[in-house]
Chains A and B, each alone.
Chain A
Amino acid sequence: MRVRDEERQPSLQADLTPLINIVFLMLVFFMLAGSLRPGDDIQPASIDSDRAVDDGLLVISVDREGWARVDGAAVNDESLLVLLEEQQARGGRAGIRPDARLEAQRLVEVTDLLRKAGFEQMVLVAQAR
């Protein structure tokens, strides 16, 4: 009986090395190829454009209820205006990333806020089609 048990055990031990290799490769792939999603539940609208989003752009996401979000945190229009004025004073640029289900009039309101802060040019950020 004892001899039999010893015989059985090695056949049950699967070699885990190929599995670990593949898991490591997948881990490296996801770490390098993906970017971490911002912490909001915005479904960005989509556009046919090949212009990349500039680095250093202050992106204001607007969720489907119309709340403006900067770095995932909701801000009211007054605080947003202050943030925008600071960005304008630094000579930076600003962009709006609206949810596809948002009412378009709210987007126009947010562009008006940007104008109030002194931006003459602005960009709309959306998912590439």
Chain B
Amino acid sequence: MNFQLQQKRSRLLISLTPLIDVVFILLLFFMLASNFSVENSLAVQARPGEGTVAEDRQAPAGLIVLDRDHYELDGVEYGTRELAESLARLLEMKPDLALSIRVGKAARVQALLDVIALADDMGIARVTMESSTP
């Protein structure tokens, strides 16, 4: 009887090693492939094309010229901080302002997105982009 019991017990033992191996591999995969960064969005409008009668053009427009490290708003050059202030002043005068951003050759995407985000933050609904070189 005793001998039989011992036989039964040894059969019930399952080796966990392969399971742990697989779990470790899965863990490694998910640790390396997982992405925790959150992505958000910003709305922009397509610029009116040739031949389009855009009612947007009737709205008072502000033009920002963007190049390597400076911004120009309606012909006056600004740094990043002053741009926000002068844009706010302009917005007070023209609440339905439509903003157009002219992008220079040396401009980087990050600077462009910063301006668009700034305009969005100020509640400017119509933001369009155009290239300085046609």
Q: Which residues of A does B touch, CB under 8 Å?
A: 16, 20, 23-24, 26-27, 30-31, 33-37, 44-54, 57, 95, 97-105, 107-109, 111-112, 114-116, 119-128
Chain B contact residue count (CB 8 A cutoff): 45
Q: Which residues of B contact A107 (CB under 8 A)?
A: 103, 109, 112, 129
Q: Which residues of B contact A98 (CB under 8 A)?
A: 109, 113
Q: Which residues of A contact B108 (CB under 8 A)?
A: 100-104
Q: Which residues of B contact A53 (CB under 8 A)?
A: 39-41
Q: Which residues of B contact A119 (CB under 8 A)?
A: 46
Give bound CA distance, A20 to B27, whole Å. 11
The contact sample of 7 A-B pairs, CB cut-off 8 A, is: A44-B37, A44-B39, A49-B42, A54-B41, A104-B103, A121-B45, A122-B45
Tell me if A49 and B34 are in contact (CB < 8 A): no
Tell me if B109 and A49 are in contact (CB < 8 A): no
Number of interchain pairs (Cβ within 8 Å): 157
Give bound CA distance, A50 to B104, whole Å. 28
Q: Which residues of B contact A31 (CB under 8 A)?
A: 30
Give bound CA distance, A127 to B131, whole Å. 24
Q: Which residues of B7-53 are within 8 A (CB) of A?
A: 16, 20, 23-24, 26-27, 30-31, 33-47, 49
- B110 CB within 8 Å of chain A: yes
Tell me if A30 and B103 are in contact (CB < 8 A): no
State whether A47 and B38 are in contact (beta carbons under 8 Å apart), knowing that A101-B108, A104-B103, A115-B49 are contacts in the complex: no
Q: Which residues of A contact B39 (CB under 8 A)?
A: 44, 53, 97, 125-128
Give bound CA distance, A122 to B103, whole Å. 18
Q: Which residues of A contact B81 (CB under 8 A)?
A: none
Give bound CA distance, A129 to B132, whole Å. 29
Q: Which residues of B contact A51 (CB under 8 A)?
A: 40-43
Nearest B-chain residue to A37, judged by Cβ: B35
